Structure 1
Amino acid sequence: MSLQQGIIIAWRCQGPCLSSEERIWLPSYLKRTKRMDWKLEGSAEQTESQELQEHELALDSPGEDGVSESFRLLQIDVGCEHWEQEALPTGSAAWCSKNVRRKQRHWEKIVAAKKSKRKQEKERRKAKRVENSGIYPQHSKRFLRSLIKERLLEAKHSGPRLCIDLSMTNHMSKKELSRLAGQIRRLYGSNKKAERPFWICLTGFTTDSPLYEECLRMNDGFSSYLLDITEEDCFSLFPLETLVYLTPDSEHALANVDVDKVYILGGLVDESIQKKVTLQKAQEHSVKTARLPIQEYMVKCQSGKNYHSEILTINQVFDILSTYFETQNWPEALKKGVCSRKGYVLQNSVE
């Protein structure tokens, strides 16, 4: 209540008791107090409007992290609303139908199963990397690349050599060339993972041949492979007494892998199965031949197809040589390279 309202109430209550001078003086006084009340109300309204404007500016102005105060208050309101929803008693969800609750439980089971499956798959891939890499997986990729490069370059000077004779690819079809390019890729990948790698040389390999184009098309980074590529024939590139041509038609079983020898694999994918092609080529140049000791450590297994073959791809032969060079164990090496589809199993497994 303002001062003027109080005086008016007092005047009305005590009007008859006032003197004539007070009756004359009071109206003028009321006019002055009324003007004072207007000024006070105007200043109060101005002060209140200024405070509101300052408060709005404070809300709209961004803070230290670039978020306005009004947005913070909005987040607080949303958080409070979410908290109130979570704080509701369990009985408040009773309005949902049984069908809705059943679907919700079914969906939660599906999500939990997917999370569990992803976790198991991640652990399986991690275990597989540790098992197949042969190196410590905690190192960086740059360190691993440098380590692989160092091992391969060391094998070039002190390790065993493996030549892939590619001089017989002139009469191969495009499909056979594609299969051979894939075998070269797998062979090189296995050699990179080996703790004691071979130094690989592709002989009789011209850069304008269809096989070279197929290798570039199928094998990423083929031009940067750490191996030797030459157009020369393997028989003119190395001394003949150091060469051993590996062919399944040889009469002599390979007994050991010697670092002083150069082992030759015939780069031939022949779907027509022409026999003794590599053996005849080795005999023409008076080069020693050898076969993998499959007959000495493995036996034929009975199957519905009754199929038995000692002809392996070049990457399978290399896996056997590489495993034996590291383990000095022929049964373990043959088990890795000779699959059951070839019709051979280890003698111990039959017993």
Structure 2
Amino acid sequence: MAHSQPETCEMQLNGVSELIDLLCIDVETDAVEDRPGRDDAPCSKNVLRKQRHWEKQVAAKKSKRREEKQRRKLNRDSGASIDHPEFTKRVMKAITRERLAEAQSTGLKVCVDLSMTDCMSDKEIGRLAGQLRRLYGSNKKAARPFHVFLTDLREDSRLYRECIRMNEGFLNYMMDITEDSCLDRFPPETVVYLTPDAEEALVTVDADKVYVLGGLVDESIQKKLSFSRAAELSVHTARLPIDEYMVKKSNVKNFHSKILAVNQVFDILLTFCDTGSWTQALQTWFPLGKGYEVAPVYSPATQPELED
């Protein structure tokens, strides 16, 4: 018997409804199958807490670095980038290279003795590589940069490899990098080895002298390492005039140290040569955490003039 037209329409609608139901089931099944399993579940509270703690530490370090860069900019107001803000980066780079090239011909000589790295840990080697990067950065910004030498730096040494890894463009640094010792390059009578254990304080910086900084990071604090190295070379020694221009601060831990990083000694020398003032140089670059402060009785007017 033939179906009537209404019955046929109803059957077609039912068929469509069934197909839609099947499609919905397929979609829901796919959605269930695509749901993440237990392996992709959100991290536990403990993991999230550690993650937040790590992020806070990273943010704090970034903030500290920004503050340090800002402090350096404020302190070094004699740099060319401040005097000539209208120059492009390319022009400033060319000016910097020209200034460093001139320093390699006529600049005061500062040498970093890297002969003591064999006794340092990998962590200390990494820190020293970072200090050398900051030292070079300071020299680039200086109005009167030094002629810098890195001596006793062997190409097969850990420090050399770490400098290349950490310091972008290290091989293009405008400084003299050599495997020779400082005495292979300079007469012994011209060498002044700066060490905190020397008896004589450095009064001025002479153009006919070579000032040697001990390239050393010693977290175990073995005493008189740089002084022993100077004695081994049989050269004159001197120390920064910390005792003459600074006094101990009272602090809870009663901590006082005159041992500075190689880049900190370098910055002090740069500022003294630029200003002729040990007070200003020490006040600007001597770390506050070392437990010393500039003695209030001293003023730039009472200090010896820097010889040309």
Same fold (TM over 0.5): yes
Correspondent of 1:279 among 224, 227, 236: 227
Correspondent of 1:317 among 265, 268, 284: 265
Q: Which residue of 2 aligns with 1:144?
A: 92
Correspondent of 1:266 among 214, 221, 229: 214
Aligned Cα RMSD in Å?
2.3
Number of equivalenced pairs: 228
Gaps of at least 5 residues in structure 2 are 1-65, 300-308
Distance in structure 1 (CA, Å) of the matches to 2:134 and 2:297:
28
Correspondent of 2:190 among 232, 242, 245: 242
Distance in structure 1 (CA, Å) of the matches to 2:149 and 2:103:
12
Where does 1:140-289 land on structure 2 (aligned, <5 Å)? 140-289=88-237
Is the radius of gyration larger for structure 1 or structure 2? 1
Higher alpha-carbon deviation: 128-137 or 148-157: 128-137
Distance in structure 2 (CA, Å) of the matches to 1:152 and 1:268:
25
CA deviation map 1:102-137 (0-9, x unaligned) = xxxxxxxxxxxxxxxxxxx9xx98x95894744312
> Does the alignment pair 1:305 with 2:253?
yes
Q: Which residue of 2 aligns with 1:75?
A: none
Q: Is the 8 A contact 2:279 2:298 kept in 1?
A: no
Correspondent of 1:329 among 262, 277, 293: 277
TM-score by length of 2: 0.70
Distance in structure 2 (CA, Å) of the matches to 1:237 and 1:340:
36
Q: Percent identity?
A: 54
Per the TM alignment, residue 326 of structure 1 is displaced from its structure 2 partner at its CA by: 0.4
Structure 1 or 2: more helix by fraction: 1
Distance in structure 2 (CA, Å) of the matches to 1:350 and 1:323:
17
Gaps of at least 5 residues in structure 1 are 1-120
Q: Is the 8 A contact 2:80 2:143 kept in 1?
A: yes
CA deviation map 1:281-314 (0-9, x unaligned) = 2122220000000000100010001000000000
TM-score by length of 1: 0.62
Distance in structure 2 (CA, Å) of the matches to 1:299 and 1:169:
32
Per the TM alignment, residue 350 of structure 1 is displaced from its structure 2 partner at its CA by: 11
Per the TM alignment, residue 145 of structure 1 is displaced from its structure 2 partner at its CA by: 1.1
Per the TM alignment, residue 190 of structure 1 is displaced from its structure 2 partner at its CA by: 0.3
Distance in structure 2 (CA, Å) of the matches to 1:202 and 1:128:
26
Q: Using CA pairs below 8 Å that are at least 6 residues apart, which structure has the higher relative contact order?
A: 2
